[in-house]
Amino acid sequence: MGARISLDYITHRFGSASAPTLSNINSEIKSGQQVALIGRSGCGKSTLLHILAGLLQPSEGCVRVNGHQVTKPSARWNMMFQKASLYPWMSTEENAALGLIFAGTKKREAVAQVQELLAMVGLQEKNKAKVQSLSGGQQQRVALARSLATNPEVLLLDEPFSALDAFTRTALQEDVPAICRDRGITLVLVTHDIDEAVAMADRVMIMSQNPGRIVSELSIDLSYPRRHMDAHFQSLRSELMDRFENIDKLAHGEDLISDSDTENPSLSAQPSKRSLP
């Protein structure tokens, strides 16, 4: 099962005197929802994801998962990074089993438990292979299996596919949300790729820069599998592009989303008449 996440008035400064990197981020993510967080490089996406993962404590405010404040990392909310970070001297199955082993499961049992997951991510034939012999996409699939092995309620992805070739990326953009939907996992994906956001998320949050704030939202009401060439896919993509181009206006205008919009993202799915020309 997934988990409900609340971001309660999060402000973060690196160094006490500096200007905030994140300012007053307040939102609610429903259990099982798939959210993409998009914004320019350096706007604070990774910082916010680290806060969600409990890897960083915000200067003000807090994150709650099912009402409980996040104060440290946990296998219940797993983070997956752009680099797979596998141990090259271990096999696929040993790498995939690591989270379980760290959580106290005996190695033999942990390795047995990950076989089904490895099959799900298309690596059943590679379970004994050393990860060094795998392609980048396959290594990222091992990292995905490792993240899923501990049955997380939340999966946090930080630009996980940006180093992969287009075919592998497209395959994972389909597979990961499907797996999360199947298991009811709440997904938060950070990306600077608008197509990736439309392909994977059912809700997109747009972040401004200096300070990082959530300035707009769009709900993605597309069914699966999603086809990039579909007219509705393209119209949602253009809408996001438009908002992105107007991000400075959104950040300084009256369009900062309110609490009521956050509870019902479809409310903010309409193009803003106030700020767009």
Ligand X SMILES: Nc1ncnc2c1ncn2[C@@H]1O[C@H](COP(=O)(O)OP(=O)(O)O)[C@@H](O)[C@H]1O
Q: Under the criterion CB under 5 A, does residue 46 sit at the interface with Mg ion?
A: yes
Which residue in 2, 20, 32, 44 binds ligand X (CB under 6 A)? 44
Helix (H) / strand (E) element for 178: namely helix 166-183
DSSP labels for 57-117? --SEEEEEETTEEP-S-BTTEEEE-SS----TTSBHHHHHHHHHHHTT--HHHHHHHTHHH
Distance in angstroms (rounded) separating the CA atoms of residues 246 and 227: 26
**What is the residue type of 204?**
V
Given candidates 39, 177, 211, 265, which one binds ligand X under the rule CB under 6 A?
39
| CB 79, min distance to ligand X, A | 13
Q: Which does 44 bind (CB under 5 to 8 A by kind): ligand X, Mg ion, none?
A: ligand X
Q: Which residue lies nearer to ligand X by CB, 153 or 217?
A: 217
CB atoms within 10 A of CB 166: 8
User: How many CB atoms lie under 10 A from the CB of residue 78?
Assistant: 24
Which does residue 47 bind out of Mg ion, ligand X, none, counting CB within 5 to 8 angstroms by kind?
Answer: ligand X
Q: Express the helix, strand and coil content of the chain in percent, nearest 5 each.
A: 40, 20, 40
Chain centre to alpha carbon of residue 181: 14
Check binding of 275 to Mg ion (CB under 5 A): no
Which residue, 33 or 46, has its beta carbon nearer to Mg ion? 46
For 14, the enclosing helix (H) or strand (E) is none
93 touches 127 (CB < 8 A)? yes
Per rule CB under 6 A, is residue 137 in the interface with ligand X? no
Among ligand X, Mg ion, none, what binds residue 21 when CB lies within 5 to 8 Å by partner kind? ligand X
Query: Interacting stretch for ligand X, rule CB under 6 A, among 27-35, 39-47, 139-147, 164-172?
Result: 39-47
User: Which residue from 35, 36, 43, 204 is in contact with ligand X, where contact means CB under 6 A?
Assistant: 43
> 210-228: string of b/e by CB count within 10 Å (b at 16+)?
ebbbbbbbbbbebeeebee
Part in contact with ligand X (CB under 6 A); list of ranges 38-46, 101-109, 163-171, 251-259: 38-46
Paired tokens of 108: 């033999």
186 binds Mg ion (CB under 5 A): no
Closest CB to ligand X among residues 23, 46: 46
41 binds ligand X (CB under 6 A): yes
Contact call for residues 28 and 182 (beta carbons, < 8 A): no
Q: CB under 5 to 8 A by kind: which of ligand X, Mg ion, none does 39 bind?
A: ligand X
Selection from Mg ion, ligand X, none that 216 binds (CB < 5 to 8 A by kind) is: none
Shortest separation between residue 163's beta carbon and Mg ion, angstroms: 13
Quick one: which segment of 3-11, 42-50, 141-149, 225-233 binds ligand X (CB under 6 A)? 42-50
Point out which residues bind ligand X (CB under 6 A).
14, 21, 39, 41-47
Point out which residues bind Mg ion (CB under 5 A).
46
